[in-house]
Amino acid sequence: MQFYIELVKAHPILMAMAQFAILGTLGDVIAKWIIEKRFSKPFGFVTLILKMLEWSFLAVLIKYAFTGFGGFVNELVAHQMLPEPGNFTRAFAISATMNLQFGPFLVLMHRLLDNLIARQKNWQNIDKGFMSLLWFWIPAHTVTFMLDKPFQIGLAAIWSVVLGIILGFYNRKPTSA
């Protein structure tokens, strides 16, 4: 565990990229398996690499957002614009401000990149992506921001797998009779 912590502290951006490239892509793969109701190779090799690059790019944005919105909440507290929070309240404040301000941009960027990779224009159900900020990401990141900093990005990447599983079940193809 100490090795992981030291690696994350020494290379925060590269580790964020690696964790999201692996876990974010895994979430996409699992979602496809659930949707198609079978284990298969859901993406070709090139698409798989492009998805890993997409998740790596998103990881950089997410890592900067984690740092920036933590500082944002600290500054609001320092300027007495928010009361001095406890651990849960601080975590919730960071999660809520980040997901309500940065979250919509990330949802749009994620869909745009997915569309570029798939060479399509699919904006269906984007509203559900925005709604996931409220029902999934704010609670999930509240838990995330309660952890020590070295574990936050790793848990966020794990949450992308969890959301992939949830969305896979939500988007399952109906069984034909």
Would the pLDDT of 44 be above 60?
yes
Q: In this predicted structure, what is the pLDDT of residue 171?
A: 84
Q: What percent of the chain has pLDDT over 90?
A: 92
Would the pLDDT of 173 be above 80?
no
Confidence of residue 177 (pLDDT cuts 50, 70, 90): low
Q: In this predicted structure, what is the pLDDT of residue 24?
A: 98
Neighbours of 84 (CB within 10 A): 9
Q: What is the DSSP letter of 175?
A: P
Mean pLDDT of 74-87: 95
Q: What is the DSSP letter of 36?
A: H
Q: In this predicted structure, what is the pLDDT of residue 140?
A: 98
Mean pLDDT of 73-100: 96
The four Cα atoms 119, 125, 129, 130 give a dihedral, to 10 degrees, of: 120
Measured distance CA(112)–CA(17) in Å, rounded: 19
pTM of the model: 0.94
So where are the chain's domains? 2-170
Q: In this predicted structure, what is the pLDDT of residue 176?
A: 64
Which two structure tokens, joined as six digits, stand for 13?
């951006």
Q: What percent of the chain has pLDDT over 70?
A: 99
| Range name among 47-51, 105-109, 125-129 with the lowest pLDDT average | 125-129
Mean pLDDT of 26-52: 95
Confidence of residue 172 (pLDDT cuts 50, 70, 90): confident
Q: In this predicted structure, what is the pLDDT of residue 174?
A: 75
Mean pLDDT of 146-175: 92
